[in-house]
Structure 1
Amino acid sequence: MQKVRVGIIGLGNMGAAHAAYLAAGQVEGATLAAVCDAIPSKQAWALESLGDQVAFYEQEGELFSSGLVDAVLICTPHYHHPASAIHALQHGLHVLIEKPAGVYTKQVREMNEAAKASGKVFSIMYNQRTNPLYQKLRELVQSGELGEIRRTNWIITNWYRSQSYYDSGGWRATWAGEGGGVLINQDPHQLDLWQWTIGMMPVRMRAFCRFGRYRDIEVEDDVTAYVEYENGASGVFVTTTGEAPGTNRFEITGDRGKIVIEDDRMTFWRLRTPEPEFNKDFKGVFGQPECWKCDIPIHGQGGAHRGITQDWIHAIQKGTPLLAPGEEGIHGLMLSNAMLLSTWTDNWVSLPIDEELFYSELQQRIEQSRYQADSSNSSDATVADMSKTFGS
């Protein structure tokens, strides 16, 4: 089978990492054919690290129309993911985008529509979906082993970031540069897994985001959100970059027990009798269902970033189902957008959100942002500078 010729757009930390394993031949059926970055000096790095067989371009449009690639991996700044993906799809290329899918759902929905119309294989780098812990959780929920979901709780506060981290780039933690804080930068994987593992999205939300609570930044660094689901279940999501030591604990309660993931282990407190059944038959005062504590064995390590890339290549070559379809990137982003919108409006928000209202609120904050981009730097690009920076 002919190898898929892959191009990479953006040679920042993640783009360079993807380029390294592709160039080393660590993805079956794929070969790295070209890379692109708006910083001319990246060409020297590419030549030294990837060899002279990998073509280098400063403009993504040149790479897309070069005829050298069949598929591209998009590793540009957050705001540009949808625009760059649409541009590639219009050139008849398969697309894999880095997370997040974008900054606001309005632009991501346009990207999804373009992907559907293109007929090309479109995936997103949700590498945590390869983690056997979360795959096992999804399996237990889907099989009915946990019963009907009643409550979800995720405390993910082990994202500690110092002021020096934020000071390392003027674009960091700004509305114009990144489009948000902990929700858009650190939490996309958790927000995706929150809905992917249980198989449902909330129907409404009330959230409380605090902006620059712990650091001198303009975006959110502390979030508490309460959600409600169509079946009557509720959930809480708590995250921050300003606490130490942090916690990463995901707890799901169903009417057949409770599953907790913490410290890379899964524990299932399984009820011998489902709670509704016990409640119906029990005639005492303080009784409760018999409960068994089960340590669920987890096998394998997961494929991480390389695993998602391999999954994408297999889908292109063999037509196999994607583990992380690109269209599903909108779900986690919808959750983060809803948290911000609930805070900005100081009110409940229904899901799907009012995308025009969110976009309007976001634009107000971009206009007031302290960051002004230098369009010559690929890591320093605002919305207005994106097309010029990456040649779309």
Structure 2
Amino acid sequence: MSKVRYGIIGIGNMGSGHARILTDGSIKGAVLTAVCDGFEKQRQWARENLKDVAVFEDSASMIDSGLVDAVIVATPHYDHPVEAIQAFDKGMHVLIEKPAGVYAKQVREMNEAAAASSKKFGIVYNQRMNPLYQKLRDLIVSGELGEIRRTNWIITNWYRSQAYYDSGSWRATWGGEGGGVLINQCPHNLDLWQWTIGMMPKRIRAFCQFGKHRDIEVENDVTAYVEYENGATGVFITATSEAPGTNRFEVSGDRGKIVIEEGRMTFWRLRESETAFNERNKELFGAPECWKIDIPSDGPSPEHAGILQNFTDSVRNNTPLVAPGEEGIKGLTISNAMHLSTWLDGWVDLPFDEALHEAELNKRIAKSAYQRQEASAGSKTV
């Protein structure tokens, strides 16, 4: 096809952002032809700001119009799999916003629908376009860092005030969002955590604190410890009530340590592997020779535009996807396991009991201050 005709499902903050990128002409081979939203206010915005773009009330009508080849799903979290499955059933290519969903069981069903459709399926993990994380992944995959021994990510600069949480009745509720910082702010970090090192944890012990320093239902402060199959360990710490916050990702391996912080990457590279040094060393306080290397940046990250261009190229030319939609379940599995570990007050092995997690989640949804209506192709904000 000469151009991929996009339709956006949900044009709140995220959907309207995609609309602006598509209409400014920066994505080669793509055109925005239609949008839909369950809220009249958003539809009116679209009519006033999106020239020559059809506006619909629901996704079914938009898809049935014949105006679109691919859809971008930018609805509230619970509706991502619902909308994606319906779109696959109607022959659409699908790009979903993060997170893939709220619980692994529904995302697995979405992945199965994608596989059965043979259509392109992507997820907006725009941080995979960041040259820093791409370089980290390259250094690890190539063996430059050696076998991974430890990972530590402190990501506490997701500051959110009470005013933010009070801006919508659905925010920070089990019924509206299905979780807090893990499901709303941290999907990118949880994805990058496993994507860059190429490993999923084998078990997790997490401590989620719900409504810490904020009047909300869900978790906004998390400390988690993980273990990997090769014996490596990891720690993940996040919060939305710390100011100033920190964003420091540290990966230690047999050949040194890499740290990403404040937009810079530093590699403390060992001249020889720690294993080899330890085998030959006879000095009581000997240590491997280490070189500090500042890894140069490959330029700014293309972010959302990069994901949109990559997805468009995949639809048109079968270019490999940087962020396949099927991989959305990996980061979600980690966040689900952190919730379940806290709820059960114990270790959770991966893969975990998805039915048990869903049952525990449903207990909290039933008591939530926010009770959802059926999916209505509404808007998503962050």
The answer on whether the counterparts of 2:257 and 2:269 sit within 8 Å (CA) in structure 1 is: yes
1:286 maps to what in 2? Answer: 285
> What amino acid sits opposite 1:11 in the alignment?
I
Secondary structure, aligned partner of 2:175: coil
Identical pairs, percent: 66
| Equivalent residue, structure 2, for 1:263 | 262
2:174 is matched with: 175
Q: Deviations over 1:308-338 (max 9, x none)?
A: 0110000000001000000000000001000
Report the CA distance between 1:284 and its aligned residue.
1.4
Match in the other structure for 1:376? none
Gap runs ≥5 in structure 2: none
C-alpha deviation, 1:359, in angstroms = 0.1
Counterpart for residue 49 of structure 1: 49
User: Do the aligned partners of residues 282 and 389 (structure 1) sit closer, same or farther apart at CA in structure 2, a change above 3 Å counting?
Assistant: closer
Q: Give the whole-Å Cα distance in 2 for the aligned partners of 1:57 and 1:245.
A: 42
Partner of 1:188: 187
Q: Which residue of 2 aligns with 1:120?
A: 119
> Which structure 2 residues correspond to residues 201-350 of structure 1 after superposition, within 5 A?
201-350=200-349
TM value normalised by structure 1: 0.95
Task: Name the CA distance, whole Å, in 2 between partners of 1:182 and 1:174.
Answer: 11
Aligned to 1:99: 98
1: distance between equivalents of 2:349 and 2:105?
Answer: 16
For residues 342 and 211 of structure 1, the distance between their equivalents in structure 2, rounded to whole angstroms, comes to: 14
Q: Which residue number in structure 2 is paired with residue 3 of structure 1? A: 3
**151 and 389 in structure 1: CA distance in 2 versus 1, 3 angstrom threshold:** closer
Does the 8 Å CA contact 2:200/2:228 hold for their aligned counterparts? yes
Per mean C-alpha deviation after superposition, the further-off stretch among 170-179 and 40-49 is 40-49
Tell whether the 8 Å contact from 2:12 to 2:42 is kept in structure 1 after alignment: no
Find out whether 1:386 has 2:375 as its counterpart.
yes
Letter paired with 1:150: R
Distance 1:112 1:7 in 2: 21
In the alignment, the residues of structure 1 paired with residue 161 and residue 332 of structure 2 have an alpha-carbon distance, to the nearest angstrom, of 25
Gaps of 5+ in 1: 373-381
SS at match of 2:178: coil
Q: Normalising by the residue count of structure 2, what TM-score does the alignment of the two structures yield?
A: 0.98
1:368 and 2:367 aligned = yes
Shift of 1:303: 1.4
Q: Distance in 1 between matches of 2:247 and 2:92?
A: 38
Secondary structure of the 2:40 match is coil
CA RMSD between the two structures: 1.1
What CA deviation, in whole Å up to 9, does each residue of 1:228-265 have, x standing for no partner?
A: 00000000000000111100000000000000000100
Match of 2:39 in 1: 39
Q: What SS does the aligned partner of 2:236 have?
A: strand
Deviating beyond 3 angstroms after TM superposition, the runs of 4 or more aligned structure 1 residues are 387-390
